[in-house]
Chains A and B, each alone.
Chain A
Amino acid sequence: MPKVSMTINGKSVSGEVESRTLLVDFLREGQRLTGTHVGCDTSQCGACVVHVNGVSAKSCTMLAVQADGADVTTIEGLANGDDLHPMQAAFRENHGLQCGFCTPGMIMSAVDLAKRNSDPSETEIREWLEGNICRCTGYHNIVKSIKAGAQAMRG
């Protein structure tokens, strides 16, 4: 069985995985990081979004071995101890979540958007979210949260 090593949320981890093991399963089962979720089987819903080498990626569409040597950040790694990441705080402040299942992927995706575009417009946010499906919020408050979170990230 191949051995895979990576940094997850700043910590070096390694383990034996089957070649076919998806990154999301390595995170959820191998590392017990269950904040990253699986919502579909065709790579559309975005509940599984993490950052790999600073860029958002769908962890259901990557093999764990493809992340060998990478720097991976999951939702659990976003806050700084008890200090929420500004995007996390913005989601709470603006009621950008209801059941919370799509939320980790939404937040990770939003952080990547805000890093590339520090002041995204409503249209740019909605188009960016093509890869993130939410069934609860109707997106209205997610868009509001991301706008506020991006502004907070600008400082």
Chain B
Amino acid sequence: MPDTGIGAAVRRKEDFRFIKGRGKYTDDIVLPNMTYAAFVRSPHAHATINGIDSSAAEAAEGFVAVLTAADFAAFGGLPCGWQVIGKNEEPMIEPKHPILAEGKVRHVGDPVAVVIAETKAQAQAAAELVSVDYTEHDAVIDMTAALRGGASVHDEAPNNQCYDWEIGDRAVVDAEFEKAHHVTTLELINNRLVPNAMEPRCAIGDYDQATGEHTLYSTTQNPHVIRLLMGAFVLQIPEHKLRVYAPDVGGGFGSKIYHYAEEAAMTVAAKLLGRPVKWTSDRTEAFLSDAHARDHVTKVELALDADGKFLALREFTLANMGAYLSTFAPSIPTYLHATLLAGQYTTPVIYAEVKAVFTNTVPVDAYRGAGRPEATFLLERIVDKAASEMGIDPIDIRRKNFIQPDQFPYDTPVALTYDTGDFEAVLSSGLAASDWAGFEARRQEAASRGKLRGIGISCYIEACGIAPSNVAGALGARAGLYECATVRVNPTGSISVLTGSHSHGQGHETVFAQLVHEKLGVDIESVDIVHGDTNKIPFGMGTYGSRSIAVGGVALANALDKVVSKATKIAAHLMEASADDIVFENGAFKVAGTDKEVGFGDVALTAYVPHNYPLEELEPGLEETAFYDPKNFTFPSGSYICEVEIDPDTGVTDIVSFHASDDFGNVINPMIVEGQVHGGLVQGIGQALYENTTYDSNGQLVSGSYMDYCMPRADDVPNFTIDHQVTACTHNVLGVKGCGEAGAIGSPPAVINAIVNALKDYGVEHIDMPATPAKVWAAIHGGQKQAAE
């Protein structure tokens, strides 16, 4: 019998429907009498809407209705879930984010109208017949230019600044820089990305005239959050009359967290028309309407003493918000970013200033890593640059500044307290696995073939398992970030787990079942993990921020403990013993010191057929709910080592090996954890080498399809080698840290450090992402080749 408990590489239960083509994704859903919607979107980055003429559309075949901003006048705008207060207690500027554009369009893709017809093709055809009269304005695209004034995206922000935020004591940090032996400076860009989950977004609105219940089927990562945001803040639908159902969802990576206009529009349309309405994004539409990612322009400086010890770090960043504030956007470059600037190091003082800027581009929000890739990139790049400038080995400089195991729990100067970690362990393991020591020989061998080899390291730490609600609230979050699990034991012993977590690829149906098996001894085939439907699940905050195991899994563990506690009392009664004498192991309750035992299944049945039962003291039934609010973030860490070989004639970078050494605390299913790391690594490599979101000066999205936006493919990336070190999380009962985002956080600087290393003879100090062949070639041929020693 294969092990199906904690630590086992259990093959996934959910796979069967996916490999057979029987997954149920939102676009697969067909409702009786359903209509189809197509959005009319702005072709201009910045324009006034003078008028909308839908007469031609209304005469089109299959036309049912057209809605514009006027039809949504009674409703609120899309809410922002996190308020940032900047310098001098100034709250961020929070312009309205209307469901459909009101009076002005502010990015190419901004929705102006929605046309509904009998078929999808008819809706698309009719949408093209809607004629909008625009007066174009200058587009605000470059952030530095935006802040200087001139055109403004929103009247409330004349210089396009949303907030000017800081963390740390500027005077103290500046003083350290004044007396430093060495200061390293780096200007860099963290390039804008488009998340591009393979399943395009889809929303179906439905309204039951008989009961007054709305249903929204949506490709969301967090159905309860959508129910709360849309119900309470946008459409004023009481929660008990609004069901949000996210069936199988094909990837999210953050892009499917937000409450989008299309969800509200479908919900409103369905009630208006008395028929279900479905909208499915196509890929170009996704480029123009899914939240984009990253997009920081940064200057970072590191102050060091003569031995290479870090004295202080300061960062100045412009962070692009896009044209409107997306749901979590303001928090990403602030609380999810600057709080990681200590990295694995003991840097005593840190200062960061972040200015968030509105531009006439698609809104920007969290994407795998959300602020932490940006922090890790600038930190691991400047550490490498400082090492190079001071003639210190890049491994030695890191070791010299590591937080040591006896310093945990470690209070960083940027608000977070790391619970535990062993940075030397992941580093040593990574160096050995990647044969760092043998690199020079490989470099020379490659040189004999005319190729340039480089090796680069990234030592990352990140904060996930989002989040302790009181901390988040103090920092401006407008929601709690606990998680909820109900364990429902059915009379014949099967288990239904109702979880607020949502799997859109992460494998919860298997991993959570492993936790149930470990605790209760029940076969995982008898455990059903239910997620995605607000009608079935009490509450939840959904899946993002690598929180499912660290928050959702712990909520489940706590609910399982409550089940065992009650079941123990029932078993005690059945065996006429005291509950204190009962031991529960291997799925059976035993009276300690005897051979009396009763199985979990018998206890379950007894709970529901309570004939021999302590009814005076205990209610029948066996179902327990736990809400778990984490005490802290969790802090995965690791060392990633990337080795590249560059062809100087073409600038093409080949990744010849990539090793990931991670500490995720305890691991429930190592197969799934490795899969998460692989996926994150390729997204990070995609950012480093291939992906870029390009706007021209008129605000046209030049990279608006897979023709122009380079998605990494199988032959662009190598096999990976992976190992785990374990320092168990100290503040949750499972000792888990989570693993979903680490790959995307740690990998970009490893890749760029490797490329800079490969090009060091050409005097290349930095190369911005994506390090395309053209950029690498230009760096080689533009740089001065140093004499070989």
Do the beta carbons of B22 and A76 come within 8 Å of each other? yes
Given A91-B15, A103-B19, output 4 extra A-B contacts at Cβ < 8 Å: A41-B283, A92-B15, A126-B713, A135-B196
Q: Which of B121, B251, B714 contacts A139 (CB 8 A)?
A: B714
Are B675's CB and A141's CB within 8 A?
yes
Is residue B178 contacting chain A, with contact meaning CB distance below 8 A?
A: no
Please report the C-alpha to C-alpha distance between residue A100 and residue B25 in the assembled complex, in whole angstroms. 10
Indicate the size class of the contact surface on chain A: 35 or more
Query: Which positions 21-40 of chain A face chain B at CB distance < 8 Å?
Result: 28, 32-40
| B470 contacts partner chain A, Cβ-Cβ < 8 Å | no
For residue B256, give the distance in angstroms from its CB to the closest CB of chain A: 11
Docked Cα-Cα span, A127 to B713, in Å, equals 9
Residue of A91, A136, A143 near B19 (CB, 8 A) is: A91
Flag whether B636 is at the interface (Cβ < 8 A): no
Given A40-B706, A79-B20, also A135-B683 (CB < 8 A): yes
Given known contacts A93-B11, A103-B19, is B198 in contact with A133 (CB within 8 Å)?
yes
Residues of B within 8 Å of A97, CB to CB, are: 15, 18-19
Q: Report 22 cross-chain contacts, Cβ distance below 8 Å, ordered by A residue.
A: A39-B198, A41-B705, A45-B283, A45-B706, A47-B198, A76-B21, A93-B11, A95-B12, A98-B679, A99-B248, A100-B19, A101-B23, A102-B250, A103-B19, A126-B715, A127-B715, A132-B713, A137-B678, A138-B677, A138-B678, A138-B680, A140-B678
* Least Cβ–Cβ distance between B751 and chain A, in angstroms: 14
Q: Whole-angstrom distance from the CB of B124 to the nearest CB of chain A? A: 11
Which residues of chain B have C-beta atoms less than 8 A from A122's C-beta? 719
Q: Which of B19, B671, B719 contacts A88 (CB 8 A)?
A: B19
Considering the complex, give the chain B residue whose CB is closest to the CB of A20: B121
Q: Which residues of A contact B683 (CB under 8 A)?
A: 135, 138
Bound-state CA distance A10–B22 (Å) is 18
Size category of the B interface is 35 or more
A125 within 8 A of B: yes
Q: Is the CB of A133 within 8 A of B18?
A: no
Among A18, A40, A88, find the residue whose CB has the most chain B CB atoms closer than 10 A. Answer: A40
Note all chain B residues with C-beta closer than 8 A to A123: 715
B506, A98: Cβ atoms closer than 8 Å: yes
A142 within 8 A of B: yes
**A100, B505: Cβ atoms under 8 Å?**
yes
Return the contact of B671 from the options A36, A40, A76, A95 (Cβ within 8 A): A95
Residue in contact with B198 in the complex, picked from A32, A107, A129, A135, CB distance below 8 Å: A135
A20 and B27 alpha carbons, distance in the complex (Å):
20
Closest to B249 in A: A99
A92 touches B679 (CB 8 A): no
In the docked arrangement, what's the CA distance between A45 and B681, Å? 20
Q: Judging by beta carbons under 8 Å apart, are B283 and A135 in contact? A: no
B117 on the interface (CB 8 Å rule)? no
**B-contacting residues of A (Cβ < 8 Å)?**
18, 20, 28, 32-42, 44-45, 47, 74-76, 78-79, 84, 88, 91-93, 95, 97-104, 107, 122-123, 125-127, 129-130, 132-143
Task: Name B21's contact: one of A33, A45, A143 (CB within 8 Å).
Answer: A33
Contact partners of B17 in chain A: CB under 8 A? 100
- How far does the Cβ of B24 sit from chain A's closest Cβ, in whole Å? 8
* B682 at interface by CB-CB < 8 Å: yes
A85: nearest residue on chain B (CB-CB)? B19
A93 to B19, CA, bound (A): 11
B181-208 with Cβ < 8 A to chain A:
196-200
A-B pairs with lowest CB-CB distance, top 7: A35-B21, A101-B250, A100-B18, A99-B505, A138-B678, A75-B21, A98-B505
Question: A34 to B21, Cβ gap below 8 A?
Answer: yes
**Residue from A33, A35, A88, A130 in contact with B713 in the complex, judged by beta carbons closer than 8 Å:** A130
Known contacts: A37-B25, A84-B19. The answer to whether A99 contacts B198 by CB under 8 A is yes
